[in-house]
Amino acid sequence: MINISFPDGAVRQYEKGTNALDIAKSISEGLARKVLAANVDGEVWDATRPIEKDSSLKLVMWDDAEGKNTFWHSSAHLMAEAVEDKFPGAKFWVGPALDKGFYYDIDLGDNKLTEEDLVTLEKKMNELAKQANPFNRSSQSKAEAIAYFKEKGDEYRLDLLEKLEDGKAVKLTSIAGAYWKGDEKNKQLTRIYGITFPNQKELDEYLVMLEEAKKRDHRKLGKELGIYTMNDEVGQGLVLWMPNGTVIIEELEKLAKETENAAGYKRVVTPHIAKESLYLTSGHLPYYADGMFPPMELDGEKFYLKAMNCPHHHKIFDAEPKSYRDLPYRIAEYGTCYRYEQSGELFGLMRVRCLHMNDAHIYCSKDDFAQEFKAVNEMYLKYFKIFGVEKFQMRLSLHNPEKLGKKYVNEPELWKETEEMVRAVLIETGTPFVEVQDEAAFYGPKIDVQIFSVIGREFTLATNQVDFAQSRSFKLSFTNQNNEPEIPLIIHRAPLGTHERFIGFLLEHYAGKFPVWLSPLQVKILPISDKFMDYAIDVLNKLKAIGVRVEVDDRPEKIGKKIREAELGRVPYMLVVGEKEAAENKLSIRRQGKGDLGQQTVEEFIANIADEILHRKSGE
């Protein structure tokens, strides 16, 4: 007999070789029907895999992240079976589960897959799912598996095997091309994306959300609203901000500057390029060279486009002697950086090659660290409230001890110390977080901030990093209270991320309907006819005098058309003016998405909109 420990602390005895599914059945048949996999001693197993020794067991279901992963991984294999039925001889490379759904990379030979084929494959997958065939694990030695796939002539499975160390409601969503192993020199495979759910209701709800997401696609809205454009002659991944987009950028900078000034930051400006030696000192070239543009040579020296602001900021810190009285020393910059993203990874505003970063660096002692790190996290929370971000997650990204000296600075004791410092602050402040291994910065642990839009789409917003290495690389120090040199800790933080990524998020979050303070055009005045143009211009000038972004629609169009077009342009306020309004010094007010709000005097409206803008109200 073996002892099985459950999450509630209970321990039960079972026959050696039992499996999680049998254990679930011993509790109830209803429970067994919900089981998708098992977590045995912290490792996800097939539900039918024999358990041979005393173990801890958690039964994995759909609501668990591990359950969705298992469900979608199984669905990828189900799709592969459907593909093989339609295209005999197809070869399969990898078919992983994703955060939402799954994909499979497939060599279809001379066959071409069409959108119509997806419908056929969906039907086959549903047919196969109804057969309720079990997924059974078949254990073979590596040599036996290699021999099997050699006989089949499957170079893709062989490639995966040779790298191994010894030892349903269905929707197929899209087709794409994917180079084998991501190398443009290799053959292009067909990638099929899909998603499955335990029942049709959940799939239908997901598809409704997907349609809403398409309407909110920042690339579509960015074009419709004149926010940004891109041009092949300028270059891939290089954003051209149009007047409307520039307004949003300036409002975000204004918010950041106000917030940082109140928190004791000082503003700096640094160049867009630097000598190779700067990035050798910082360590970015050895660790980050693939993400940087190639160097330019001038007068026998190499210069690089700036991929990050921190080395420049370290030189500013070092420009003048510092004592403990100068710390914490906080400097901030909306710095322009350039990163060489692969062409296949570029995506609208989310992955670009030129980015404007809400960056700052805090130089502090160990005694000040907890308070400074806490203050940065509180700044995040303030911004979340302003932008209506209700769901977020902090990811504590840790190093991998096996990669010290390769991916990470080789300072094991400092890694241990700083990771514990960050963890302690998060626990003390009650900040919800999860820990992930092998995702730290090369110079220290970090917090990656994941935020979710109103329809649940996840975005990586920004980062809050601890750096114990670059102070040493740049030989930074301050004089402590004992009149001795001491090395400062550095906090890298960017609460609003980059203009590019954050505005992309906001476009999708608000569906283009920005709150008044952030809207490129805040008010549109709609005269019923030319007879009331003088009154419209008078209102325009009064609003401009208090800084409101306002226009008059002076076209000889019917008022209904003017209102419809202002609605489509996502203008927050529409002011209709006619004979009665002009005679009584009033405005008929319409609000984006809310319709007619009645009448106010010009003075009342000015006072209300000024208050809404000043306090950055959401408008809800």
Q: Is it the case that residue 286 has pLDDT exceeding 80?
A: no
> Which residues on neighbouring strands pair with residue 59, listed in sequence order?
38
Question: What is the rounded distance in angstroms from the CA atom of residue 103 to the CA atom of residue 193?
Answer: 4
For residue 193, what are its two tokens? 């994306």
Q: DSSP secondary structure string, 480-533? A: -TTS-EEPPEEEEE-TT-BHHHHHHHHHHHHTT---GGG-SS-EEEEESSGGGH
> Which residues on neighbouring strands pair with residue 396, listed in sequence order?
435, 447
Contacts 24+ apart (CB under 8 A), 287-291: 287/407, 287/442, 288/442, 290/340, 291/339, 291/340, 291/341
| 450 vs 327, more confident | 327
Question: What is the rounded distance in angstroms from the CA atom of residue 198 to the CA atom of residue 344?
Answer: 33
pTM over cut 0.85: no
pLDDT tens digits along 175-199? 777 777 777 778 888 888 888 888 8
Question: What are residue 335's phi and psi, to 5 degrees?
Answer: -85, 145
Q: Which of 6, 548, 17, 483 is nearest to 247 (CA)?
A: 548
Percent of the chain whose predicted confidence (pLDDT) is above 90 = 51
C-alpha Rg value of the chain to the nearest Å = 29
Is residue 48 within 8 Å of 82, Cβ to Cβ? no
pLDDT tens digits along 236-260? 999 999 999 999 999 999 999 999 9
Q: What is the mean pLDDT of the chain?
A: 88
| 393 vs 145, more confident | 393
Question: What is the rounded distance in angstroms from the CA atom of residue 596 to the CA atom of residue 590?
Answer: 4
Is residue 354 within 8 Å of 338, Cβ to Cβ? yes
For residue 245, count CB atoms less than 10 angstroms from its CB and return exposed for 0-12, middle for 13-18, buried for 19 or more. buried
Q: What is the pLDDT of residue 222?
A: 95
Q: What is the pLDDT of residue 192?
A: 84
Q: What is the pLDDT of residue 171?
A: 80
Question: What are residue 437's phi and psi, to 5 degrees?
Answer: -85, 150
Q: What is the pLDDT of residue 113?
A: 86
Q: What is the tally of helices (H) and strands (E) in the chain?
A: 20, 29
Preceding amide of 328 cis, omega within 30: yes
Q: DSSP secondary structure string, 18-30? A: --HHHHHHHH-HH
* Cα-based angle 619, 494, 323 (whole degrees, multiple of 5): 125
Is residue 179 within 8 Å of 160, Cβ to Cβ? no
Q: Is it the case that residue 553 has pLDDT exceeding 70?
A: yes
Q: What is the side-by-side strand order in the sheet with 188-197?
A: 91-92, 102-107, 188-197, 169-179
Q: What is the pLDDT of residue 58?
A: 92
> Which residues on neighbouring strands pair with residue 599, listed in sequence order?
588
Q: What is the pLDDT of residue 308?
A: 92
Q: DSSP secondary structure string, 342-374? A: -GGG-BTTTB-SEEEEEEEEEEE-HHHHHHHHH
Binned at pLDDT 50, 70 and 90, residue 317 comes out as very high
Q: Is it the case that residue 527 has pLDDT exceeding 90?
A: yes
Question: What is the rounded distance in angstroms from the CA atom of residue 39 to the CA atom of residue 47?
Answer: 9
Task: Taking residues 264-289, report their average pLDDT.
Answer: 92
Q: What is the pLDDT of residue 545?
A: 97
Question: What is the rounded distance in angstroms from the CA atom of residue 493 to the CA atom of residue 505?
Answer: 19
E strand or H helix at 49, and its extent?
none
Q: What is the pLDDT of residue 104?
A: 85
SS3 455: coil
Task: Report in angstroms the alpha-carbon separations of 512 from 16, 213, 218, 500, 567.
Answer: 60, 12, 8, 15, 11
Q: Around Cβ 541, how many Cβ atoms within 10 Å?
A: 10
Q: What is the pLDDT of residue 167?
A: 45
Is residue 502 within 8 Å of 245, Cβ to Cβ? no
Sketch out the chain's domains with CATH numbers.
2-61 (3.10.20.30), 69-208 (3.30.980.10), 223-510 (3.30.930.10), 516-614 (3.40.50.800)
DSSP state letter for 326: G
pLDDT tens digits along 52-102? 999 999 999 888 888 888 888 888 888 888 998 889 888 887 778 887 888
